[in-house]
Amino acid sequence: MDMQAGISSPLYLFEKFEVGVIHLDAERRVLAMNDFARQVLPVGEKQPFDKLVTSFHPERSKPKVDFLLNQASGCPMANAVPMTMIINIPEQVLLIKVTRLGDFTGATTGFVLVFYDVTQVVSNPPAPTPAADAAPAPVRLNRIPMVSNHRVAFVDTQDVLSLESQAHYTRVLTRDGFHFCNLSIGDLQSRLDPAQFMRVHRCFIVNLQAVSELGREGSKTHVVLKGKHREPVPVSRDAVARLRTALGLLARH
């Protein structure tokens, strides 16, 4: 079975990847974790036991983890389905699920956080580095993970028209409409192919192949993308020359 065939199987994650499991108490302190979690997470550096689970997450991911736990600790009936989220850590993309534990009265006694390393599902292998001591090349995404109704779907990057920052999250535009991604626009920019995607504004990344029009209104530049969503995407002043060059409107030096 090749990679793409395996990915299309609903059981792919369960068959191909080990699972990391972390047990938290009701105050969200780390009580225990399995061996795979110890391998993946910086346990030696962070020493997370008896500390808040956010202690070994990057600063940009902490609000997401808190939100996930807040949602899981809400009404038990409303949150019967485990909460799901995607986070980005150095060279890895993790799919996280959290569920609440309760005693015989239903009172919260803790949480179980389960994660899968889905980096292989959403990215190409990194290019080999020329020198042994050179920094590893970034893992490029060829699929973007999206979360909806506690389910995770993956969209090919070639089908993405634009990405819009919404605080710690990103709104992804495809020909089918808008989708929600838990990764920040900065996380996505660092993983996307710069030959295909360009950050044209603080809040926007566009697929260069999806640009159908480049226009100006007064002193402001914008692009219009292919498809039915024709709302102009703003282009910041410092990105105009780079964008025009990438679109073949200016000669490269």
pLDDT of residue 79: 46
pLDDT of residue 55: 81
pLDDT band of residue 250 (cuts 50, 70, 90) is low
Strands in 90-150 per DSSP E:
92-102, 108-117, 143-148
Alpha carbons within 13 angstroms on the beta-carbon side of residue 115 total 28
pLDDT band of residue 78 (cuts 50, 70, 90) is very low
Domain ranges for the chain, please list them: 3-122, 143-246
Burial class of 77 by CB neighbour count within 10 A (0 to 12, 13 to 18, 19+): exposed
pLDDT of residue 171: 93
pLDDT of residue 117: 82
pLDDT of residue 195: 93
Strands in 53-132 per DSSP E:
83-89, 92-102, 108-117
Domain at 3-122, CATH from 3.40.50.620, 3.30.1490.20, 3.40.50.970, 3.30.450.20: 3.30.450.20
SS (H, E, C) 226-247: CCCCCCCEEECHHHHHHHHHHC
Strands 204-207 and 197-201: antiparallel
Q: Which residues contact 149 (CB under 8 A, 6 or more apart)?
A: none
How does pLDDT run across 215-228, given as a tens digit for each residue? 999 899 999 999 89
How does pLDDT run across 100-137, given as a tens digit for each residue? 999 999 899 999 999 888 877 777 655 555 555 555 55
Q: What is the DSSP string of 2-51?
A: -HHHHHHSTTHHHHHS-EEEEEEETT-BEEEE-HHHHHHTTHHHH--BTS
How does pLDDT run across 23-77, given as a tens digit for each residue? 999 999 999 999 999 988 888 888 889 999 888 777 777 887 888 788 777 655 4
* Longest distance between any two alpha carbons in the chain, whole Å: 71
pLDDT of residue 77: 44
Exposure string (b/e) for 231-248, b if CB count within 10 Å is 16 or more? Answer: eebebeeebbeebeebee
How does pLDDT run across 153-195, given as a tens digit for each residue? 889 999 999 999 987 789 999 998 999 888 889 889 988 999 9
CATH fold of 143-246: OB fold (Dihydrolipoamide Acetyltransferase, E2P) (2.40.50)
Nearest-angstrom CA–CA distance, 242 and 185: 19
Nearest-angstrom CA–CA distance, 187 and 92: 11
